[in-house]
Structure 1
Amino acid sequence: MWMQFRRLFKDLRVGIRLLLDLVERTIEENAPLVSVDLPTGYGKSTASLELLWEIYSGNLDHYAERVVHVVPTRCLVEEFVERARQKGIPAYGQCMFFTPELKDPYFIPPIVFSTIDSYALNFCKIPVAEFESLALGRTLGHFDIPRYATFSAINIFDEYHLLVPNDAKSQDEKYFAKAWTTLMVIIKELLRVKAPVVLETATPRTDALNELKTYLGVIPRVLSYDAAIDQEYIDQGTKIIVNDKEFSDPLLNREYPLSIHATSDFCKKAIEICMKVAGTCNILIVCNTIAQAVSIYRDLRARGLSTILLHSQFTIQDREQKLRVLRDQLSKNYTIAICTQVIEVGVNLDFDFLITDAAPLASLIQRVGRIGRDVRREGEQFPIHLIYDVSYEQKDIKLYSNVYPLETTKQTIQLLADLKNQEKRISWRIPASRKLDKIVPYNLLAEEIYRNQEFYNQQVAGILNAILSPSTDPSYAMLQITRLHSLIRDSMIMPVYVTPDYSELKPNELIVLYAERLVPAKPYSLGLELHETGLKICNRDVVRKSLKLIDDKFLAAFEESEGEQICLLSVSAEELYECFSRCFLRKNGKRYLFRALIANENAYNSEEGLMTWL
């Protein structure tokens, strides 16, 4: 099997070959930190499978037993596991709602793809397979198994830049930048035991990497892409610079005509632009909020256009179906996709025309990466229409679209407008160390926008270091992580169950819960706020619209701790908070494990998702 696998990758890109050489050289020199900056679509994930070959062929078996590849989203776990298995590699995955037979929560197989959420819990003594048993006090958990697996692995953190906050303005928040701080603490612990670490990104953040180097006190070996060099690569010992002209030249010559529109009505302008080109190309419209996306979707559908809506508030089943339909339509007919930020990462789709709401540069880079992805599409133009809603400047808020830092968003728009006025083009896909004639690489723009920012959170790091101390056990780790609600996410996931039959839903009734009918919602999207002191209703209208209430109590699905039956209970906000603070609920002399809130009748449909907007 391994020889067959090796033949599949005999023609590797030069950058991937250099990456493998650098990792092997770095590990053998006992300096196991590698930073890799390669463009989107270059094939970084191939390197994980190649490193696995190096272990099993005997070249690296003295240094590692497996590869653990960590990604930011569940979609990427699914994609990478499927891609590896299509090539005959027995890859496994770990994330929420993943196919059970392909899941390995202890990271024991030769190669495992995991979300950063699951990886962080396993690393911090909370084995994801035993989370609830730990909460109920039944066991201290086999936490040393996944920790041993990571300590004896090559640990690859893919697209790590997504853990960096968009802005440093909100440092007064108690747990600001906890995801980035968690990653820093984990990497430092891995390096302490000499476990190899590879950091991969297509969108490098110099400020974040400099902070990481300062915190770790080490100089990483670096592989960077630079279209400004004439040679194929330059090997400087601790740093290798590569320019794969076969990959770079077509993308550098590709044109992304940029138009910037100032308006007070994003939806109206987006529809106006879309109608001018509908039916001539595949169009991607990216909105900052679900309400905007639904509004545009309804308008275009009413005009008889072929459209698909994609955002975070769909069931797992409907989301997968929408992606299948969208891929099919992109290959056959011209279509329009209206999406939120879910399109930015982990969705391998290729469009021709982008209409997007304004956002900080890092997000725009991800969005532009959804058009013209295929390197072979030479001679085509891929227009970008960037819409900036000026009304937010008149509002007494610091957030654009109530999502992004307003100042960072304004700075991004101004920088892009200045380049346009100077008749300079932007290389959205290929980085370089300097400007190339009238082409400005995206990485130089990122350095301009994100400079001299610090994100390390001392309080979060203190909690994590206490957890990782040899003197603490999983019960202490569970208590501390509960304070944070999540090590990675800005808020915990609160699943909402959508059922086709609401007539059967009554308190104390038993039901069958199907994972594919769950919507992975966050509290604030449901009109709720989760604090250290309790669960508060911040928008009663959204709560009533989206969730099933009985006498102002939430109808929710729980599993009895002593059995496997799922029953419905009517619970107050205080009781729900008990579930999240203790990880279980005491009620009627029993202990219950929370499974999902129940969606209100008519609050969900497969076209528009869970109606959490007003």
Structure 2
Amino acid sequence: MASLMDYYRHVVNVWYGGSSRKFIEYAVSAIEKEFGRKNVFVLEAPTGYGKSAFSAAFSLYSVYEEFKSIVAFPLRALLEDQYSKFLKVFPRELIGRRYMHTAESPYLTFPVTLTTIDTLSLTVFGIAPEDLNKVLTKISSYGTSYGSMGHYWYSWASVGLSNIVLDEAHLVADTTKSLNFLVALMDFVVRHDGKLVLMSATLPKALKDALLKNSKLYGKMEFINFEPGSEGYDEEFVEERRKKKYHPINVVPLRSEEKLERIESWILENKDKYDKVITVFNTVGDAIEFYNKIVSNRDFEEFRKILLHSRFTEEDRKSKIDKLRKIVKEEKYIVVATQTIEAGVDISSTLMISEAAPANSLVQRFGRFLRYGEVEGKAYVWYEVDDEGKLKAREISGEKYYKVYNYELTDKTIEYIRKHSNMNFHVPQDYSELLNAVYTSFTVNHEDVERMINIFLSYERGSERAAEEFLRLEGSFVRESLIIPAYPVDVLKRESIDDIVVTNIKVFNNRVVPVQYGFLKKYFSGIVVVELDGELRIVKVENSDEVFRSPRSFLRYYYGFKHGSIMAFVVDAVYDSVLGLIPLPKSGGGA
């Protein structure tokens, strides 16, 4: 019988030519030591330290020495990046992906499944994507005796028999909703005497304290921290990181009308010395506008340029990731991105220009700065201000936001960096102090957690209970906003005759673009594409206002559609492989 350490050394031999990390070896040993007594392991290691080698080794151990594994990611981009690496150590027949329209591992049943946290959450509660439509259609029934309520026992077993890894676990605890799910998942793992490993570079002390307060985890959880004085602390790695020179960090307030010109000027001012540029925006609209601006500016002709955000088809997103891997060998490039670059994108820069965001996000963005051994660079963190010079705010349902982020967390992050402009985002001790200053409390809603746990105890009506909770939480156990498949109206016009879509289902799925509920509500064209008896048909929605009355009414329409399965909602937008999905102008503003 091979040990977890044996499998780890095999992975680093294949991936890195045998060059392992001191702290990861220590973590492997620590987990092996406590494997028979504990169920939940929290592995905290710096960005770019090679944590993914552990998840591959843990999966190898799970398959060959136990039964199966599930590795879950918060972002599809990260999943796809890791999938290509996993194929170097696993036979193709043992590994499958499951997310949106990629269904290689239904019910997460492959020996190794790479999935999203969204799909894992549906499956663990017994409403796997394969069953969700039928369960919501039959939600008025009770148990399998009165109509199909899906294969919820099968879903429970698939997850319960797996060792699970959650990568970038801080993103599964950034809201009360997602933290509730994390606590419920831990309870599920402990009840089944399973194993769960949470991996992250950025876990604030307040989050660890919130997890430890869960009495059901007492004696069942092990924290493995990268900190001075610990047995596995990698002093050599830290000293190499301390040599990075980019201080002070420039923290700059900007008015909306001047921001793009100022960012352009920073690139031009520094182009002779720092010509590997990443500029990160918080919204897709700003990223597209800035990309168009530099493409049309002859001062930037010498740079390779690429735009990366969430509103691309899966095919084009993969193509862009491939291009990113190639342009890192170029002397000069500008990557314009949104927060999609925070995980799963292996690229470096010598000039980092980031819009302000909460500390967790900024740490991840700076993980793409001086990443490949570069020693010197320059960094800007900018933010939009109102007429009074304060951080610009907007209200959504009574909550205060800066763009898409929590206003208070963003404001606290800006103030901390302004006062500590010489902090080093590459040194764990420095960014841990930032995280602990910004994130001072995490809230677990124990009533919601109990609702989730009670799903597992409802043996006759498990999937019905899960569906009710799914609707109550407005379509996600982990996210505040729904992610929905959209199809651009210009593409549909080229591919349809009357009410028939003439492309095949696989090609159609490759052209679907994931969008958030708010975007869909604003730009919905009034028609959907439905799959019925193997054929794609265009169906007009008779009462769009009623469908979009609330997220819950939308979900009932989407998943409870009785005349086939809705494949995508058609939006008033055009699609461009370079720019992505671009909404057509409507009264009242842009994207």
Query: Is the structural similarity TM-score above 0.5?
Result: yes
Q: Distance in 2 between matches of 1:367 and 1:9?
A: 25
* Aligned position for 2:452: 464
Q: Distance in 2 between matches of 1:285 and 1:158?
A: 25
* Aligned position for 1:383: 378
The Cα shift of 1:462 comes to 3.9
Q: Distance in 2 between matches of 1:189 and 1:8?
A: 29
Q: Distance in 1 between matches of 2:86 and 2:495?
A: 42
Return the TM-score normalized by structure 2. 0.84
Report whether the alignment pairs 1:213 with 2:212: yes
Q: Distance in 1 between matches of 2:417 and 2:369?
A: 18
CA deviations 1:53-109 (Å, max 9, x no partner) are 44566xxx4xx4222222111122222222111234445243324655xx2133333
Task: Name the structure with the higher helix share.
Answer: 2
The Cα shift of 1:321 comes to 2.0
Report whether the alignment pairs 1:270 with 2:263: yes
SS in 2 for 1:338: strand
Structure 2: gaps of 5 or more residues: 139-146, 584-589
The Cα shift of 1:396 comes to 6.4
Greater alpha carbon shift after TM alignment, 494-503 vs 390-399? 390-399
Q: Tell me, yes or no, if the aligned pair for 2:173 and 2:182 is still in contact at 8 Å.
A: no
Q: Give the letter for the 1:611 counterpart.
A: I
Greater alpha carbon shift after TM alignment, 466-475 vs 153-162? 466-475
Q: Tell me, yes or no, if the aligned pair for 2:391 and 2:411 is still in contact at 8 Å.
A: no
Report whether the alignment pairs 1:493 with 2:499: no
Among 568, 572, 587, the residue aligned to 1:596: 568
The Cα shift of 1:328 comes to 1.7
Among 151, 166, 173, the residue aligned to 1:164: 173
Q: Distance in 1 between matches of 2:240 and 2:35?
A: 34
The Cα shift of 1:49 comes to 2.7
* Aligned position for 1:49: 56
Q: Tell me, yes or no, if the aligned pair for 1:313 and 1:609 is still in contact at 8 Å.
A: yes
* Aligned position for 1:81: 83
Q: Distance in 1 between matches of 2:283 and 2:41?
A: 36
1:511-590 equivalences in 2 (<5 Å): 511-512=502-503, 513=505, 514-526=508-520, 528=521, 539=522, 543=523, 547-548=524-525, 554-560=526-532, 563-571=533-541, 572-573=543-544, 576=547, 580-581=555-556, 583-584=558-559
The Cα shift of 1:509 comes to 2.6
Give the % identical residues. 22
Task: Decide whether aligned partners of structure 1 residues 493 and 4 sit closer, same or farther in structure 2, where only a CA change above 3 A counts.
Answer: closer
The Cα shift of 1:273 comes to 0.8
Q: Distance in 2 between matches of 1:21 and 1:367?
A: 30
Task: Decide whether aligned partners of structure 1 residues 9 and 395 sit closer, same or farther in structure 2, where only a CA change above 3 A counts.
Answer: closer
Task: Decide whether aligned partners of structure 1 residues 443 and 4 sit closer, same or farther in structure 2, where only a CA change above 3 A counts.
Answer: closer
Q: Tell me, yes or no, if the aligned pair for 1:313 and 1:520 is still in contact at 8 Å.
A: yes
Among 411, 427, 432, the residue aligned to 1:430: 427
Q: Tell me, yes or no, if the aligned pair for 2:123 and 2:159 is still in contact at 8 Å.
A: no
The Cα shift of 1:400 comes to 5.1
Task: Decide whether aligned partners of structure 1 residues 565 and 42 sit closer, same or farther in structure 2, where only a CA change above 3 A counts.
Answer: same
Structure 1: gaps of 5 or more residues: 166-175, 235-241, 433-440, 529-538, 549-553
Report whether the alignment pairs 1:607 with 2:582: no
CA deviations 1:477-536 (Å, max 9, x no partner) are 22331232111221222211136461554663344342121110112123x2xxxxxxxx
Q: Distance in 1 between matches of 2:566 and 2:11?
A: 45
RMSD: 2.7
CA deviations 1:131-173 (Å, max 9, x no partner) are 33434446333322332233233222221111223xxxxxxxx
* Aligned position for 2:294: 300
1:139-538 equivalences in 2 (<5 Å): 139-165=148-174, 177-215=176-214, 216-219=216-219, 220-226=221-227, 228-229=228-229, 233-234=230-231, 242-257=232-247, 258-265=249-256, 266-278=259-271, 280-304=274-298, 305=300, 306-374=304-372, 376-377=373-374, 380-391=375-386, 393=390, 397=394, 399=400, 401-420=402-421, 425-432=422-429, 441-451=430-440, 453-471=441-459, 472-484=461-473, 485-498=475-488, 500=491, 502=493, 505=496, 508-512=499-503, 513=505, 514-526=508-520, 528=521
Count of residue pairs brought into register by the alignment: 540
Q: Tell me, yes or no, if the aligned pair for 2:530 and 2:536 is still in contact at 8 Å.
A: yes
Task: Decide whether aligned partners of structure 1 residues 109 and 501 sit closer, same or farther in structure 2, where only a CA change above 3 A counts.
Answer: closer
CA deviations 1:370-422 (Å, max 9, x no partner) are 11222x43xx21211111322272766464543223332222122112123xx
CA deviations 1:271-310 (Å, max 9, x no partner) are 2212223465110111111222122112111113342221
Q: Distance in 2 between matches of 1:518 and 1:358?
A: 30
Q: Distance in 2 between matches of 1:189 and 1:428?
A: 35
* Aligned position for 2:141: none
CA deviations 1:521-580 (Å, max 9, x no partner) are 112123x2xxxxxxxxxx5xxx2xxx54xxxxx1210122xx222100111315745662
Return the TM-score normalized by structure 1. 0.81
